[in-house]
Chain A
Amino acid sequence: MHRLDGGDAAVAERLKTAQMGRIRVLVAKPGLDGHDRGAKVVARALRDAGLEVIYAGLRQTPEMIVETALSEDVQVIGLSVLSGAHCELVSRVRELLDAEGLKQIRLVVGGTIPDADADRLRKQGVAAVFQPGASLEQIVAEVRKAGGLRA
């Protein structure tokens, strides 16, 4: 786990960002897919836009993602999947979040996701789906919206 804003004073930082009303977002890659170019670019863009980003990185099981979301107290989880396994993996994360009573945590998903699957994911309550070609500007705005703050 790597905290983008740097490590030791994590708790103090969290209090501070909470007071400042900054959105905390977890960026993770569920499943076996190792293509992390997109996740890294997005994490950096969110950070540059002033959000607090927790980058969990590769090979996160849905269980690990939910646990991190809980302990890091995030408002938004961004999942990146380029392996075609998005429907299975994203549904599982949503189920686990709901089972933990974390309905308030919003999910956004990006990757090689065909239109039909994007619709399906939105119906399952995914706040935003970013298909190839989505702009960073659009992603930042949607994550802010999902986090409950105005862009």
Chain B
Amino acid sequence: MTRRSLDSPATLSGLPVERIYPADAARLPEPPGEYPYTRGIHRTMYRGRLWTMRQFAGFSTPEETNERYRYLLAQGQTGLSVAFDLPTLMGYDADDPMAAGEVGKCGAPVSSLEDMEILFAGIPLGEVTVSMTINSPAAILWGMYLVVAEQQGVAWDRVAGTLQNDILKEYIAQKEYLYPPRPSMRLVTDTIEFGARHTPRFNPISISGYHIREAGSTAVQELAFTLRDGLEYVDWALARGLAIDEFAPRLSFFFNAHNDFFEEIAKFRAARRLWARLMRERYGAREERSWKLRFHAQTAGCSLTWQQPYNNVARTTFQALAAVLGGAQSLHTNSLDEAYALPSEHAVTLALRTQQVLAEESGVPADPDPLGGSGCLERLTDQMEAAAREYMDQIDRLGGMIPAIEQGFPQREIAEASYRYQRAIESGGKIVVGVNAFVSPEGESVDLLRVDQEAHSRQASRLARLRARRDRTRVEHALAALQGAARGSANTMPFILEAVRAYATVGEICRAFGEVFGSYQESCTV
């Protein structure tokens, strides 16, 4: 077989790969732990502490998801990551007609504080860090989480974890938005401000490139759009009156670990360098903690294939290795069956074991940055940084990320890239093992997780009982006060907390906000 894809070698983003690099490319940057942190944010990196192994999980009901969490912790997982189902992500209760067919399908349904109590029953929130993937209704679910911690007797200044809460990438890529960009940004800013005052160990936002990449972007686009989103959040928090060093240390990031091994490592390094410089030079941050970009990585779901599913284990392994060599603080490894369905327990265990083998057997964590000084990698890091800066300048010229989104700029760039990528696979210019090369006639079968319709009826009837039981007047007062706050300029978090404590539901709170903020529809372009 001829190696057509190596005729003119380039990374997935199209950056050239040289046969040999000149000696000056192999310049060693500053040591790990030193500004601008090209080689990592800590002096000793994983020698001091391993990355957190955090598998994203949630399905069916809060009870079943709670069981999966306890299982994962018992298997040596060191943090939790909550997947909510689509109705929750979109602000619908489990008994809403819009939720039909979707309850518990791709995550855990959480309609009220009661569901959140069940989700974390018996899990000590003072000891485990929890990441929650939720965006439009993020402030509400975070409020529920904080109340459950309180019920467990854990003070808010001890609660640690991460809220995804990155609404800009929803308009750009994942499309789980409810309100127009500006009121949505106000809610995000409310959580950043509230966090700066009350939850010093919690990351109120995880600025995410993961979904941008999954939507088909290149690595350069992922890097540029994510960091530019980050600047938008910084600008809003500053406009709120916060000082940069009050909130910048708690901004966290989330990147994809895709196939192109060296380009991915270069992306992580360039991200740290760019962010450190932006924080110090553009915003005058003075605390080192504000300069350091901390990130979670997840291997690339979109790289998994339905054909020959066991090949996915190999893909996930080297993608995870790229994240580790790129200095990730926490990591999710995908399961081999995820091109078919949510992962089975067997598949998710294998994915976790993959991380444990990397951590304990490969020897890789012993050196803080074994690849530093490689001509190929240092050059790629420089190129990645320059290409991302170019995109960021372009977005500045459009007036910032919100006008860019309204003009469809990042959306179009991503759609173009994903179409090019798919065409390259179809033409054979890009090889995907088992898909357009080395295909096998026989299918391989894997056992899949199935979520039945019972989840829906169980959730709906629990919700009906709750609605009958709770203090209706308290709920109504809380929702009215919340709308008053939404109309004005007060921070909405205290009002959300009161509504949550009154057992107002996600759907009720989202609707109350919606009546004030309006809804958003993208003008769809293909």
Contact = CB atoms under 8 A, between A and B. Distances in A.
Interface of A: 2, 4, 31-37, 40-41, 43-45, 47, 53, 55-58, 61, 83-85, 87-89, 92, 112, 114-115, 131-133, 135-137
A85 B107 CA distance: 12
B418 A40 contact: yes
Contacts of A44: 415, 419, 526
Q: Main SS of chain A's interface residues?
A: mixed
12 contacts: A32-B98, A35-B174, A41-B418, A44-B526, A57-B522, A58-B522, A83-B105, A84-B341, A84-B342, A88-B100, A132-B306, A132-B339
A58 B525 CA distance: 11
Interface string B189-223: 00000000000000000000000001110000000
Contacts of A135: 426
Contacts of B426: 135-137
Contact of B101 (A55, A88, A136, A137): A88
Contacts of B215: 35-37
Contact of A112 (B175, B340, B435, B522): B340
Contacts of B451: 84
Interface residues of B, number: 44
Contacts of A37: 214-216, 302, 418
Which residue, A31, A37, A61, A89, has most C-beta atoms of chain B within 10 A?
A37
B448 interface: yes
A33 B415 CA distance: 17
Q: Main SS of chain B's interface residues?
A: loop
Contacts of A56: 524
Given A32-B92, A133-B307, A57 B524 contact: yes
Contacts of B340: 112, 114, 132
Interface of B: 86-87, 89-90, 92, 98-102, 105-106, 170, 174-176, 214-216, 302, 304-307, 339-342, 415, 418-419, 422-423, 426, 435, 443, 445, 448, 451, 522-526
A31 B90 CA distance: 11
A87 B114 CA distance: 29
A92 to B, nearest CB: 8
A114 B341 contact: yes
Nearest to A61: B98
A56 B102 CA distance: 20
A43 B101 contact: no
Contacts of B90: 32
Given A53-B526, A84-B105, A32 B174 contact: no
B195 to A, nearest CB: 26
A114 B523 CA distance: 32
Contacts of B525: 2
Contacts of A4: 526
A131 B435 CA distance: 12
B305 A132 contact: yes
Given A32-B89, A34-B174, A83 B102 contact: yes
A55 B342 contact: no
Contacts of B524: 2, 55-58
A32 B422 contact: no
A48 B348 CA distance: 40
Contact of B86 (A33, A114, A133): A33
